[in-house]
């Protein structure tokens, strides 16, 4: 008997004895708790730590977000004990899938950026790439989304680990102290001493990340802690209230995840979170490095600090501060270490998401860091002066300066302080160089790279789509979960009628399963024969859910006008959250829900058209939707979506992409073959032209009857219970501003949707395309991304 089997059986005996029950009497909740505890023990016992550093350094992945999703099923699978546990449960009349539903998703992220970090941790552990994930232990994850009576988004707190979350350890031995505010004393020359006004403790919580047949490594999350920092000196001085306010600051620090995606709010508390995250992580990295008997000079030889966007940018001046003030290194020595240690990944070009902090605020909270940043800025000034001639200088400095107009530009700080900068899909990386940082590209040759994003096949195929996985197991020689390129082996089967039938039957079965979820969640009975057309992602104008919305309205109107006309039945599924302060995105959610209510209750739409908005999009819901998708909506305005990762998950699971030439869609189309996707809309170049000629959305509104009728339906009360003004802001924005060229792409999108319907009618050709998507997209495994990071960026210095 395996040691796990023994552990399982003896622990179950004890667990039941303590509770005076038989296993058959355990509730689902108790089963979950029991299995989670046993699996944690098994992880600790059976998985090795500390993989060797052969050709790469150890990766310290700094991210404000890790959207890990449920862990138990994943851990059981990666431990190789999923079937054993399932059998034990079956003997007691239980189903493992139901038990796993008991786990609450840790929603410690907003969207793609946080989920990418989770996929990368999985891949690094699976490839035995030494790594630690550093993040924050938010008490409240991303808000829960409810849909109100009028179709509007409502928000509720998500106290994800309040009652019971067993898969984490409090590491009391790793506590850190972090200072804020106060004074800096200039001692002499380069020597400064920071006297913070107050200090906050950071407590570490470790979540072990279990790789597939690999190693376990920590995701280390810091939480603000507020007991010992109660300022008794101030208390005794009688300044009680002031002392208490500091205590409140400490515990508030990591209370909530900021719910913005691709958008900076600029709140002081967020900057404090960022610094707290970085200060704790840098101290922890140095502690481990020095404990192994290595010198500070050797830091870049053994460690790399990967910055997940600019949110942890302040780690750069923080490492400088520690090297200068604590270890008393010279500026040159400290900078030489620092600038070989950091690497920066850019995840957006959107101006509203490029972080800039008010310089006065930074100076107040982090007075030592601002001095360091000023010095970095001055040194940069010399470099730019040397590289650019007099005519070029003003423009080059305007682009590259870290400090400009009382702002600290965090992306610039990252580029200057890192040895490597990368974008997340080829087109995006090209735009980073050509549009965002041309002057830097000239100044720092060889610094800019591309690493196209990827997704972990363990969660997004093996776990989410067990039926497809079983089919792949049958037909693929070798372990495709560890080497996704092996899926190429099924390419020749794409035309094989028997394989097509099996593949199609699985899709149908997954659609039935999603139909059940939809009925449970929103009480809508859906037509399982319809095209399942899916748009699941954060709500954002640039992602253009409003384009999808307008096409649905136009389709509805067309069916109304031609009741006799045959229609290829379609179910549009949406899921996603909007930032609570993002008014237009919330309007779009409400419009979709109102439209859904009208369409789903209209007898004329029977068997033709349905719309489902599934509330509270999260990782566990994505796992249920993705395997059931026929069509994947990737319709952002070209140039705006850095990469996308949902596009990869959906395509690998056999959905046909309807998309623009944006982000990783470009590469998906190349790999799948242009005939196996449907591309529409303006390109980066044609958007440039459109704008150069003075884009006027109103012209499209006036000239296109179908478009005008669709938009007008938003102001005639049809989808708002007679309220003609509910969507005024949305409609005004579309007709008069349309910053993401929705109207300019409408006709082309509508034609693409008609093309989808046409193709779907030829099921043989459709299934062939779907199979080819699965077979040819192995490159979008996050294992490939991690290997790219290893060879392009993390190789030993």
C-beta of residue 367 within 8 angstroms of C-beta of residue 274: no
Residue closer to ligand GPV by CB (options 309, 318) is 309
Q: Quick one: 22 exposed, middle or buried, by C-beta within 10 A (0-12, 13-18, 19+)?
A: exposed
What are phi and psi for residue 478, nearest 5 degrees? Answer: 95, 170
Residue closer to ligand GPV by CB (options 171, 407) is 407
Residue that has been written with the tokens 């993401």 in this structure? 740
Binder among 644, 681, 697, 778 for ligand GPV (CB under 6 A): 644
User: By CB under 6 A, is residue 410 in contact with ligand GPV?
Assistant: no
C-beta of residue 213 within 8 angstroms of C-beta of residue 78: yes
C-beta of residue 628 within 8 angstroms of C-beta of residue 510: yes
- List the one residue out of 500, 447, 191 whose CA is nearest residue 339: 447
User: By CB under 6 A, is residue 641 in contact with ligand GPV?
Assistant: yes
Q: How far is the CB of 427 from ligand GPV (least distance, A)?
A: 11
C-beta of residue 643 within 8 angstroms of C-beta of residue 664: yes
User: By CB under 6 A, is residue 786 in contact with ligand GPV?
Assistant: no
Instruction: Give the integer Cα–Cα distance in Å for 611 and 603.
Output: 14
Look up 543 and say whether it is catalytic. yes
Residue closer to ligand GPV by CB (options 321, 543) is 543
User: By CB under 6 A, is residue 774 in contact with ligand GPV?
Assistant: no
Instruction: Give the integer Cα–Cα distance in Å for 16 and 13.
Output: 5
Which entry of 345, 555, 645, 715 is annotated as an active-site residue? 645
- Dmax over CA atoms of the chain, in Å, equals 87
Query: What is the four-CA torsion angle of 317, 318, 320, 324, rounded to 10 degrees?
Result: 130
Residue closer to ligand GPV by CB (options 648, 707) is 648
> SS3 string of 463-509?
HCCHHHHHHHHHHCCCCCCCCHHHHHHHHHHHHCHHHHHHHHHHHHH
Residue closer to ligand GPV by CB (options 316, 443) is 316
Residue closer to ligand GPV by CB (options 128, 450) is 450
Size of the site for ligand GPV (CB under 6 A): 19
Q: Is the dihedral of CA 684, 688, 689, 693 positive or negative?
A: positive
Instruction: Name the segment binding ligand GPV (CB under 6 A); options: 150-158, 488-496, 608-616, 637-645.
Output: 637-645
Look up 538 and say whether it is catalytic. yes
Site string for ligand GPV, 571-610 (x = CB under 6 A): ----------------------------------------
User: By CB under 6 A, is residue 112 in contact with ligand GPV?
Assistant: yes
Which entry of 277, 537, 586, 784 is annotated as an active-site residue? 537
Residue closer to ligand GPV by CB (options 111, 211) is 111
Site for ligand GPV in 492-511 (CB under 6 A): none
Instruction: Name the segment binding ligand GPV (CB under 6 A); options: 171-179, 372-380, 385-393, 640-648.
Output: 640-648
Q: How far is the CB of 307 from ligand GPV (least distance, A)?
A: 12
Q: How far apart are the first and last CA of the chain?
A: 47
Look up 537 and say whether it is catalytic. yes
Instruction: Give the integer Cα–Cα distance in Å for 377 and 409.
Output: 11
Site string for ligand GPV, 5-44 (x = CB under 6 A): ----------------------------------------
Instruction: Give the integer Cα–Cα distance in Å for 62 and 93.
Output: 43
Instruction: Give the integer Cα–Cα distance in Å for 572 and 70.
Output: 26
Site for ligand GPV in 414-453 (CB under 6 A): 424, 453
Q: How far is the CB of 309 from ligand GPV (least distance, A)?
A: 5
> SS3 string of 212-259?
CCCCEEEEEEEEEECCCCCCHHHHHCCCHHHHHHHHHHHHHCCCECCC
User: By CB under 6 A, is residue 782 in contact with ligand GPV?
Assistant: no
Instruction: Name the segment binding ligand GPV (CB under 6 A); options: 108-116, 191-199, 266-274, 754-762.
Output: 108-116
Position closest to ligand GPV via CB: 112
Site for ligand GPV in 349-368 (CB under 6 A): 353
Binder among 23, 69, 111, 224 for ligand GPV (CB under 6 A): 111
User: Which two tokens mark 598?
Assistant: 């009208």
DSSP secondary structure, 407-444, as one string: EEEHHHHHHHH-SEEEESSHHHHHHIIIII-HHHHHHS
User: By CB under 6 A, is residue 643 in contact with ligand GPV?
Assistant: yes
Site for ligand GPV in 255-274 (CB under 6 A): 261-262
Give, for 204, the enclosing helix (H) or strand (E): strand 198-210
Residue 192: strand, helix, or coil: strand
Q: How far is the CB of 745 from ligand GPV (least distance, A)?
A: 18
CB atoms within 10 A of CB 643: 27
Look up 91 and say whether it is catalytic. no
Q: How far is the CB of 160 from ligand GPV (least distance, A)?
A: 19
CA distances from 177 to 194, 198, 200, 222 (A): 14, 10, 6, 11
The β-bridge partners of 451 are none
Binder among 309, 533, 630, 783 for ligand GPV (CB under 6 A): 309
Query: What is the four-CA torsion angle of 318, 322, 324, 328, rounded to 10 degrees?
Result: 180
User: By CB under 6 A, is residue 116 in contact with ligand GPV?
Assistant: yes
Residue closer to ligand GPV by CB (options 116, 592) is 116
Q: Which DSSP state fits 418? A: -
User: By CB under 6 A, is residue 348 in contact with ligand GPV?
Assistant: yes
Q: How far is the CB of 114 from ligand GPV (least distance, A)?
A: 7
DSSP secondary structure, 175-188, as one string: EEEEEES-EEEEEE
CA distances from 14 to 43, 94, 281 (A): 20, 19, 39
C-beta of residue 613 within 8 angstroms of C-beta of residue 589: yes
Site string for ligand GPV, 652-691 (x = CB under 6 A): -----------x----------------------------
Binder among 74, 645, 653, 785 for ligand GPV (CB under 6 A): 645
Angle at alpha carbon of residue 142, lines to 342 and 164, rounded to 5°: 100
Look up 347 and say whether it is catalytic. yes
Q: How far is the CB of 57 from ligand GPV (least distance, A)?
A: 22
Binder among 338, 443, 628, 642 for ligand GPV (CB under 6 A): 642
Binding site for ligand GPV (CB under 6 A): 110-113, 116, 261-262, 309, 347-348, 353, 424, 453, 641-645, 663
Active site residues: 347, 537-538, 543, 645, 649
């Amino acid at each position: 008997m395996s040691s796990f089997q023994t552990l399982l059986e003896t622990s179950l005996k004890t667990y039941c004895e303590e509770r005076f029950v038989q296993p058959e009497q355990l509730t689902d909740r108790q089963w979950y708790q029991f299995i989670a505890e046993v699996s944690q023990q098994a992880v600790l016992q059976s998985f090795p730590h500390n993989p060797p550093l052969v050709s790469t350094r150890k990766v310290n992945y700094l991210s404000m977000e890790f959207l890990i999703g449920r862990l138990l099923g994943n851990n059981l699978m990666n431990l190789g004990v999923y079937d054993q546990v399932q059998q034990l449960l079956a003997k007691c009349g239980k189903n493992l899938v139901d038990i796993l539903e008991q786990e609450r998703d840790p929603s410690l992220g907003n969207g793609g950026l946080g989920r990418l970090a989770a996929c990368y941790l999985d891949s690094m552990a699976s490839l035995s790439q030494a790594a630690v994930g550093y993040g924050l232990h938010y008490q409240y994850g991303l808000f829960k989304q409810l849909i109100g009576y009028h179709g509007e988004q409502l928000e509720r707190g998500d106290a994800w680990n309040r009652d019971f979350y067993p898969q984490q350890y409090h590491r009391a031995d790793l506590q850190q102290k972090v200072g804020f505010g106060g004074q800096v004393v200039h001692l002499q020359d380069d020597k400064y001493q920071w006297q913070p006004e107050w200090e906050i403790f950071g407590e570490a919580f470790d979540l072990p990340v279990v790789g597939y047949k690999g190693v376990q490594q920590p995701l280390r999350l810091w939480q603000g802690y507020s007991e010992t920092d109660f300022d008794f000196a101030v208390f005794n001085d009688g300044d009680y209230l002031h002392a208490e306010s500091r205590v409140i600051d400490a515990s508030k620090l990591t209370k909530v995840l900021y719910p913005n995606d691709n958008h900076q709010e600029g709140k002081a508390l967020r900057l404090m979170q960022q610094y707290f995250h970085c200060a704790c992580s840098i101290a922890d990295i140095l502690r481990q490095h020095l404990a192994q008997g290595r010198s500070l000079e050797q830091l870049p030889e053994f460690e790399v600090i990967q910055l997940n966007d600019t949110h942890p940018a302040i780690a750069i001046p923080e490492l400088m501060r520690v090297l200068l003030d604590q270890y008393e290194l010279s500026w040159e020595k400290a900078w030489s270490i620092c600038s070989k240690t950091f690497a920066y990944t850019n995840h957006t070009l959107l101006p509203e998401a490029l972080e800039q902090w008010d310089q006065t605020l930074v100076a107040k909270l982090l007075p030592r860091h601002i001095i360091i940043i000023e010095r970095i800025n001055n040194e940069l000034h010399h470099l730019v002066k040397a590289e650019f001639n007099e005519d070029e200088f003003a423009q080059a400095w305007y682009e590259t300066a870290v400090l400009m107009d009382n702002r600290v530009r965090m992306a610039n700080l990252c580029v200057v302080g890192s040895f490597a900068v990368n974008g997340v899909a080829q087109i995006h990386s090209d735009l980073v160089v050509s549009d965002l940082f041309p002057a830097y590209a000239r100044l720092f040759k060889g610094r800019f790279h591309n690493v196209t994003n990827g997704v972990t096949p363990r969660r997004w195929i093996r776990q989410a789509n067990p039926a497809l996985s079983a089919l792949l197991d049958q037909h693929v020689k070798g372990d495709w979960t560890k080497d996704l390129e092996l899926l190429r082996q099924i390419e020749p089967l794409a035309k094989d009628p028997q394989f097509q039938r099996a593949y199609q039957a699985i899709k149908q079965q997954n659609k039935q399963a999603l139909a059940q979820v939809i009925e449970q969640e929103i009480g809508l009975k859906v037509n399982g024969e319809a095209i399942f057309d899916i748009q699941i992602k954060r709500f954002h104008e640039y992602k253009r859910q409003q384009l999808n919305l307008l096409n649905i309205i136009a389709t509805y109107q067309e069916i109304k006008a031609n009741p006799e006309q045959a229609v290829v039945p379609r179910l549009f599924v949406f899921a996603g959250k909007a930032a609570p302060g993002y008014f237009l995105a919330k309007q779009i959610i409400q419009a979709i829900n109102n439209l859904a209510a009208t369409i789903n209750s209209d007898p004329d739409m029977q068997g033709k058209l349905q719309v489902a908005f599934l509330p509270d999009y999260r990782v566990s819901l994505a796992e249920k939707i993705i395997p059931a998708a026929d069509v994947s909506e990737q319709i952002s305005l070209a140039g705006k979506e850095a990469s996308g990762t949902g596009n990869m998950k959906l395509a690998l699971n056999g959905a046909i992409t309807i998309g623009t030439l944006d982000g990783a869609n470009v590469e998906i189309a190349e790999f799948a073959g242009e005939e196996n996707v449907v591309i529409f809309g303006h390109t980066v170049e044609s958007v440039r032209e459109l704008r150069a000629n003075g884009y006027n959305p109103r012209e499209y509104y006036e000239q296109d009857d179908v478009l005008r009728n669709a938009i007008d339906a938003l102001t005639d009360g049809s989808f708002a219970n007679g309220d003609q003004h509910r969507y005024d802001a949305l409609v005004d924005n579309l007709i008069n501003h349309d910053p993401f060229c929705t109207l300019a792409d409408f006709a082309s999108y509508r034609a693409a949707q008609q093309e989808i319907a046409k193709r779907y009618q030829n099921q043989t050709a459709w299934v062939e395309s779907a199979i080819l998507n699965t077979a040819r997209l192995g490159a979008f495994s996050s294992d490939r991304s991690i290997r790219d990071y290893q060879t392009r960026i993390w190789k030993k210095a």
